[in-house]
Amino acid sequence: MKALVFENYNELVYKDVAEPVPAPNEVLVKVKACGICGSDVHGMDGSTGRRKPPLIMGHEASGGIAALGSEVSGWNIGDRVTFDSTIYPLNDWYTLNGHYNLSENRQVLGVSPGTYKKHGAFAEYVTVPEHILYKLPDNVSFEQAAMVEPAAVALHAIKQSGFQLGESAAVIGTGMIGLFLVQLLSLSNASPLFAIDVESSKLDMAKKFGAEVILNPNKDNLIKEVLARTNSRGIDHVFEAVGIEPTVNNAIEIVRKGGKVVLVGNLSANINFPLQSVVTREIKILGSCAIRGEYETVLQLIAAGKINVNEMISAVAPLSEGADWFKRLYNKEAGLKKVILVP
């Protein structure tokens, strides 16, 4: 089969590789669409340490079942499916207690951090365990289904926060996950809803998706603007979707006393942390990791037209052109959002 192989750092090659064979509890999926995630792009130069070549990346995907492992039941060849990005054991303590995203020995599709290697979906075929599969609604396309993973990450973060109807919220970083956070918080009637970024095009999109207030920290006084719109208190829930020191500090500065900051982005492994501000203001800091069962809800929301994925897709391109699209994303070409590759 053909695959886009991460051969060396900053080098992707479209080439022939062996077709994977499903284990007894796995299905073979003929990939129909796979999105390029920001984590794939950031991992391409080796800076994140989570993608060591050679590797087939890709975890935002959909397709049709082409073959069934000997122990698979409840699925049929031809079923249209998407799948979780996390492969988790079913007998793990965390899984059994409802936290499969934290399970020991979990693996992420298309990732090789050094402790394991699991080839992903930038290929004609990929194998995945049956327990991470989700069937597509008839009116959800393969390209739309390739957007479920980032939307589910956003929904999981909101569930982590305990957000309630009518509370105020802010999203710092309006990339892919940040824009889904904006859409989902708008759908949940966050008021007021802030979007914060340094790129005007991203802020314009956030405004279109329901943000009431858009702010640029390079131009606006964040604390002044937030206090003016929140009865001088600050924001109830702040979602940080970048993962660098300045934006984490921004999140802590604009949250109200006793409020919650949910950390979704993780570009930096370590940052200087304003401990005294967090302690003396009783700020709750929450991490949000991946997904925990949100796929079905997101699929239903897409099928019902409640969240917009189509406007977040910049291009649908052949997998054979993948290396070029990776370079364009890595170089931060203006206007590019999600690029979906099709084998």
What tens digit of pLDDT does each residue of 106-117 get? 999 999 999 999
Same domain, yes or no: 269 and 325 = no
CA distance linking residue 288 with residue 291, whole number of Å: 8
User: pLDDT at position 184, please?
Assistant: 98
pLDDT at 104 over 90: yes
- If one counts the domains in the chain, the total is 2
What's phi and psi for 149, nearest 5 deg? Answer: -60, -55
What's phi and psi for 127, nearest 5 deg? Answer: -105, 140
- Is there a domain that residue 106 lies in? yes
CA–chain centroid gap for 135, Å, is 19
| CA distance between the termini of the chain | 10
CA distances for 300 relative to 33, 79, 138, 156, 220, angstroms: 19, 17, 11, 15, 37
Same domain, yes or no: 117 and 8 = yes
Whole-model pTM: value is 0.96
How many other β-carbons are positioned within 10 Å of the β-carbon of residue 15? 10
pLDDT at 205 over 90: yes
pLDDT at 314 over 90: yes
Full strand arrangement of the beta sheet holding 235-240: 213-215, 193-196, 169-172, 235-240, 255-263, 284-287
- Is there a domain that residue 303 lies in? no
pLDDT at 299 over 90: yes
Same domain, yes or no: 8 and 88 = yes
Same domain, yes or no: 126 and 189 = no
Same domain, yes or no: 95 and 172 = no
pLDDT at 267 over 90: no
Q: Give the three-class secondary structure for 57.
A: coil
pLDDT tens digits along 58-101: 999 999 999 999 999 999 999 999 999 999 999 999 999 999 99
CA distance linking residue 284 with residue 294, whole number of Å: 23
Over residues 128-150, mean pLDDT: 98
User: pLDDT at position 269, please?
Assistant: 87
Please give the structure tokens belonging to residue 102. Answer: 């934290």
How many other β-carbons are positioned within 10 Å of the β-carbon of residue 60? 30
User: pLDDT at position 313, please?
Assistant: 97
User: pLDDT at position 48, please?
Assistant: 83
Over residues 209-219, mean pLDDT: 98
Which of 36, 73, 97 lies closest to 342, judged by CA? 36
pLDDT at 335 over 90: no
Same domain, yes or no: 214 and 99 = no
What does pLDDT average to over the chain?
97
Same domain, yes or no: 166 and 206 = yes
Same domain, yes or no: 280 and 159 = yes
pLDDT at 233 over 90: yes
Over residues 17-41, mean pLDDT: 97
- Is there a domain that residue 302 lies in? no
Over residues 258-263, mean pLDDT: 98
In the chain, what percentage of residues exceed pLDDT 90?
Answer: 96
- Is there a domain that residue 300 lies in? no
Same domain, yes or no: 231 and 165 = yes
Over residues 185-196, mean pLDDT: 98
CATH of the domain at 206: 3.40.50.720
pLDDT at 286 over 90: yes
Which amino acid belongs to residue 337?
A: K
Which of 53, 17, 5 lies closest to 323, judged by CA? 5
Show the domain range for 323: 2-147+309-342
- Is there a domain that residue 120 lies in? yes
Going by pLDDT thresholds of 50, 70 and 90, the confidence category of residue 226 is very high
- Angle in degrees, 0-180, between the axes of helices 176-187 and 148-161, rounded to the nearest 10: 60
Same domain, yes or no: 86 and 20 = yes
pLDDT tens digits along 152-168: 999 999 999 999 999 99
User: pLDDT at position 49, please?
Assistant: 84
8 A C-beta contact, residue 264 and residue 153: yes
- Is there a domain that residue 298 lies in? no
What's phi and psi for 116, nearest 5 deg? Answer: -160, 170
Please give the structure tokens belonging to residue 115. Answer: 């402790």
Same domain, yes or no: 206 and 281 = yes
Going by pLDDT thresholds of 50, 70 and 90, the confidence category of residue 298 is very high
Which amino acid belongs to residue 291?
A: I
Same domain, yes or no: 139 and 249 = no
